[in-house]
C-alpha cells in the first residue's frame, strides 16, 4: 500500500469513555474497568502538589478522575480538541517543547490507547522517563487485537514483551501488567469488524452470505449481553489489550 498523504488526520475523540460503535463494545468497556481499577490501586498522588500528565488526551475523558485524586492536571496531544483544553500540542516521540513543565517531574503519566499510533518508541519512552519524577508512575494501555484505525497512523500491536523491553531500557520497572480480555472479547471484536459478501451472483452464494450476516449479528447480540461469558470461559493466548503500570526507579 502506498500512502500519498501522511498528514495526521483530525480525530473526533470521545468526551466520555463509552463505546461509540459496535467494534468498540468489548474493548472500551474492558478498558474502562481496568483504567478505573488502576487509578484506585496505583494512581494515588504521593503529595499534595503532585502533577499528572495526560498524553494523547483527546477530549480528556479521565480528567475529572485525575483531578479528583488530587493531581494538578496537564495534557498534550497532536491536535487541539473542540473544547480548546489541550495544554500543549506535540507528539510524544518528538523532542518536547519547553511548555511541558513540572518543576520536579510528573508523578503520574496517563497514556491510554495512544502508543499504537506512535512510530518511534525509543524516543517516546525516553521522553516518558525524562518527564517522570523519581518514583513517578507511567500508565499505558494499547491494543493487542484490534482493527486498523486512525489510518495511516496506526503502526503497532504490542506484545507484553515489547512493553517490558522498552520500559527496562529506559529505567522503568513494572508494577502491574495484565493481558486484558479473553477469547470472547476477541471474537466479539472480530465479528463486528468484518462482513460477509457473496463470492458470486448465484442465489446460493447470496443466501449463504445473508445467513452468515444474520448469524454474525445474533452472535454479537449474545456476546454483548454477556450471558455466554457468565457460563463459559474461553481461554487462550490471544487477548484484546495491554495494561501496564511502570515506576521510575
Cα-based angle 3, 14, 143 (whole degrees, multiple of 5): 60
Alpha-carbon span 6 to 14, nearest angstrom: 23
Predicted TM-score of the model (pTM): 0.92
pLDDT higher than threshold 70 for residue 51: yes
Would you place residue 226 in the very low, low, confident or very high pLDDT band (cuts 50, 70, 90)?
very high
Question: Which pLDDT score, from 0 to 100, does residue 9 have?
Answer: 54
- Which has more confidence, 15 or 123? 123
Alpha-carbon span 156 to 163, nearest angstrom: 12
Q: What is the DSSP string of the chain?
A: ------PPPP----SSSS--SGGGTTHHHHHHHHHHHHHHHH---SSTT-EEEEET-TT-TTHHHHHHHTPEEEEEESS--TT---SEE--TTSPPPTTS--TT-EEEEEEES-GGG-S-HHHHHHHHHHHEEEEEEEEEEEESS----STTS------HHHHHHHHHHTTEEEEEEEEE--HHHHHHHHHTS-----SSS-HHHHHHHHHHHHHHHHHHHHHHHTHHHHH-----S--SEEEEEEEE-
Q: What is the pLDDT of residues 145-163, one digit of tens each?
A: 999 999 999 999 999 999 9
Q: What is the pLDDT of residues 107-133, one digit of tens each?
A: 999 999 999 999 999 999 999 999 999
Amino acid at each position: 500500500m502506498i500512502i500519498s498523504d501522511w498528514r495526521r488526520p483530525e480525530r473526533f475523540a470521545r468526551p466520555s469513555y463509552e463505546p461509540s460503535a459496535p467494534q468498540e463494545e468489548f474493548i472500551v468497556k474492558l478498558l474502562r474497568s481496568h483504567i478505573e481499577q488502576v487509578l484506585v490501586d496505583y494512581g494515588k498522588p504521593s503529595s499534595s502538589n503532585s502533577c499528572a500528565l495526560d498524553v494523547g488526551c483527546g477530549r480528556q475523558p479521565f480528567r475529572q478522575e485525575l483531578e479528583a485524586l488530587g493531581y494538578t492536571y496537564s495534557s498534550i496531544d497532536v491536535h487541539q480538541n473542540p473544547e480548546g483544553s489541550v495544554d500543549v500540542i506535540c507528539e510524544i516521540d518528538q523532542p518536547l517543547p519547553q511548555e511541558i513543565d513540572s518543576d520536579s517531574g510528573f508523578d503520574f503519566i496517563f497514556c491510554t490507547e495512544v502508543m499504537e499510533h506512535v512510530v518511534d518508541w525509543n524516543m517516546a519512552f525516553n521522553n516518558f522517563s525524562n518527564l517522570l519524577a523519581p518514583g513517578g508512575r507511567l500508565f499505558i494501555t494499547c491494543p493487542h487485537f484490534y482493527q486498523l484505525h486512525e489510518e495511516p497512523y496506526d503502526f503497532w500491536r504490542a506484545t507484553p514483551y515489547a512493553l517490558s523491553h522498552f520500559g527496562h531500557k529506559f529505567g522503568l520497572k513494572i508494577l502491574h501488567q495484565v493481558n486484558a480480555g479473553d477469547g470472547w472479547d476477541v471474537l466479539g471484536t472480530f465479528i463486528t469488524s468484518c462482513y460477509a459478501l457473496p463470492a458470486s451472483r448465484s442465489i446460493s452464494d447470496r443466501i449463504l452470505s445473508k445467513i452468515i450476516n444474520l448469524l454474525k449479528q445474533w452472535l454479537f447480540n449474545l456476546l454483548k449481553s454477556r450471558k455466554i461469558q457468565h457460563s463459559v470461559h474461553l481461554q487462550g493466548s490471544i487477548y484484546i489489550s495491554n495494561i501496564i503500570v511502570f515506576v521510575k526507579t
